[in-house]
Structure 1
Amino acid sequence: MNDIFSRIEHSRTADEVVQQVESLILEGVLRVGDRLPAERELAVQLDVSRPILRDALKSLEARGLLATRHGGGTIVADVIGEVFARPVLDLISSHAKAAADYMEYRRDIEGIAAEHAASRATADDRALLGAIMVRMEDAHQRGDFEEEAAIDVEFHSAIGECAHNIILLHTLRSCYRLLSDGVFRNRMLVFTMPAARQQLYDQHQAIYQAVIAGDPLEAKQAAMAHMDFVTRAMVDAERTGDWERVSRLRLRQRSEGTSVKRPAADRSGTGDQE
């Protein structure tokens, strides 16, 4: 965090501070929840007076870009959450057509992101992706599917950053918000299936290798093939989960049924005549 702010060279005004922070948020350097340095430290880094800095921070907070937490300093506000309001999230989660459209949209946009990433990734971008893949491999080897699922989102988000397109970056982040909010619950089921987990890992490796190699076409194809697989796997996981649910109910019902003795009349079919 200390290295991302730069000294303001010319007119040291609140507007100059605002523009620098805006750019950092827009470019995805500052993320939702990131905490800014303490006022004194940030003023030194920007080389502005503390009154000027306070005016800038107040302006950014008034516009909803920053938020102040009691005892927690100043953080980047949840600017992504506004893209999909809660009522829309609820509709997407409860309508199969909307969920299918979401996956179709992600297939196309992930392909574009990977294509641009392969063309535009810098040395630092490639280092970031490499570090993420090391962590993904570790989680995969340990069988920690929850961590692997979290790193999955981080990986795709990093690919979006490597594409160096501001609109693409924030569009993707809004899409990933649906995953972190648990809108697609059957997504987690996929990571509990060993065969599917291995294929997901291999596909992430394929995307990563294509980006590192600077092969836009291969990166795009790998990303789209990955999303096709995820779409099928989520459907299969949902069906398998439903089969298991029905099987448990059947077993429970039959177990309880055999423990209940039927009346003699029911067993004979005629009953006692008096």
Structure 2
Amino acid sequence: MNKKSTVAEDIAKKLESMILDGILELGDKLPAERMLAEKLGVSRPSLREAKQILVSKGLLETTQGGGTYVKRTLSSELSDPLLDMLKNNVNSRYDILEVRCSLDSLAAYSAAQRATEEDKNKIKQAFAVLNEMHGKEGSSNEEAQADALFHLSIVEASHNIVLLHIMRSLFKVLRMSIANNLDKFYANSEIGEPLHNQHYKLMQAVIDGRADDARDAANEHLKFVDQSIHNLDRENERLNRHKLQSSLLGD
């Protein structure tokens, strides 16, 4: 094996690590070749060869004139047909929350034990963004995104790569499955205020390194979210029945 091939393979491994660590997410476009080569401290020809290695592995894909992307359909992400089925199945959201209750608790417990100062700063920053969105009129989609990123910052601090990739997929499906409830979910003070307090409690436990408290805070939070979504679904069903009855009666 010649020296150039060895260099390219080393670069390919670095790119793989960036994908595994979440620096490059599924579907992300790779930075411009010159910028990425400078960041990695390698030559552009070697970088091109490394990208081709990952294309042949099915990790990257290139588009004509559009750049190179991390493939969206890696095995760590739910496939699109399954995503559609879960999105359109009302009961799936409860299954997702049930799984999340276990995984979030594990992530919080591990993050409290393993988080670095950089991790803690990222968690604080994510909470600050979420706090800024809290209570803003018409910002339900932005708040949902900030909510997911806050929780993902804790998952990242757990330093469990498999857990991180699983949780990214679960957040995507859950957000799509409750899209019609987002306005009611975040604008309702009976939900929004407790959510805010729970997020703060969770953040503080992780930052303080209180692993048991962090796990319990995550568990308490997800149980509240589950119950809140159940209540909203029941309310929607009641309103739909009322509309149907009014329509049949000609009101």
Q: Distance in 2 between matches of 1:103 and 1:120?
A: 25
SS at match of 1:35: coil
Answer whether contact 1:118 1:216 (CA < 8 A) is retained: yes
1:68-217 paired onto structure 2 within 5 Å = 68-79=62-73, 83-93=77-87, 95=89, 98-143=92-137, 144-180=139-175, 182-185=176-179, 188=182, 189-217=184-212
Structure 2: gaps (5+ residues): none
Q: Distance in 2 between matches of 1:95 and 1:79?
A: 21
Q: Distance in 2 between matches of 1:209 and 1:93?
A: 33
Which structure has the higher relative contact order (CA within 8 Å, separation 6+)? 2
SS at match of 1:74: strand
Q: Deviations over 1:20-77 (max 9, x none)?
A: 1111111112222433332233333434333222111111122222232444422322
- Within the alignment, does 1:32 sit opposite 2:30 as a pair? no
- Within the alignment, does 1:23 sit opposite 2:20 as a pair? no
Q: Deviations over 1:159-196 (max 9, x none)?
A: 1101001111112112112124x134465242242211
Answer whether contact 1:114 1:223 (CA < 8 A) is retained: yes
Q: Distance in 2 between matches of 1:88 and 1:235?
A: 23
Q: Distance in 2 between matches of 1:77 and 1:249?
A: 45
SS at match of 2:134: helix
Q: Which residue of 2 aligns with 1:7?
A: none
Answer whether contact 1:207 1:222 (CA < 8 A) is retained: yes
Q: Deviations over 1:108-130 (max 9, x none)?
A: 11000001111111111111111
Structure 1: gaps (5+ residues): 1-9, 258-274
Q: Which residue of 1 aligns with 2:216?
A: 221
Q: Which residue type is aligned with residue 241 of structure 2?
A: V
Answer whether contact 2:86 2:173 (CA < 8 A) is retained: no
Identical-pair percentage: 34
RMSD after superposition: 2.5
Q: Which residue type is aligned with residue 101 of structure 1?
A: D
Q: Distance in 1 between matches of 2:26 and 2:89?
A: 28
The higher radius of gyration belongs to 1
Question: Structure 1's 30 and 82: CA in aligned 2 closer, same or farther, altered over 3 A?
Answer: closer
Answer whether contact 1:153 1:176 (CA < 8 A) is retained: yes
The list of structure 1 runs, each at least 4 consecutive aligned residues, that deviate by more than 4 angstroms after superposition, is 79-82, 93-98, 251-254
SS at match of 2:22: coil
Answer whether contact 2:76 2:165 (CA < 8 A) is retained: no
Q: Which residue of 2 aligns with 1:54?
A: 48
Q: Which residue type is aligned with residue 132 of structure 1?
A: A
SS at match of 1:142: coil
TM-score, normalisation: structure 1: 0.80
Point out the structure with the larger helix share: 2
